[in-house]
Amino acid sequence: MNELKVTEVKLTFYNKPQSPVQAFCEVVLNNSLRLNDLCLKRNCDGHLLLTYPAKKSNGGQEHHFFFTITKQAEELIRNAVIEELNKSMKELEEAFNERNNQPCLSG
């Protein structure tokens, strides 16, 4: 079997006050398998956590649709998502700075 690689990451930012959710994520592995609805959350200590989609049974037990089995796979996916987050934040900051350096219109 080939080495596991994250070949695509898409983030949809979630901007709701008081929510620990930072973004919903879509991850593609080896250009072959798409994992949708991962959730990037910030815990009370400020650390970012990646959670996988799940549903609760009538008894309240969580059943995950999919999840990583190895720590290496978990780290690979989490690091790719955080790298994409950092890239997006940098692009946003650069666009903001560029916009603020535009000449002002006098009125």
Residue scoring higher pLDDT (107 or 99): 99
Sign of the Cα pseudo-torsion (72, 74, 78, 81, in order): positive
CATH architecture assigned to 6-94: 2-Layer Sandwich (3.30)
Reply yes or no on whether the pLDDT at 107 is more than 60: no
pLDDT > 70 in the chain, percent: 93
| pLDDT at residue 104 in the model | 60
Per-residue pLDDT, averaged over 27-35, amounts to: 97
Per-residue pLDDT, averaged over 58-86, amounts to: 95
Report how far residue 16's alpha carbon sits from residue 46's, in angstroms, rounded to the nearest whole number: 16
The residue behind tokens 């309240």 is 60
Predicted TM-score (pTM) of this structure: 0.81
The DSSP bridge partners found for residue 54 are: 64
The DSSP bridge partners found for residue 38 are: 25
Cα three-residue angle 13-84-23, rounded to 5 degrees = 20
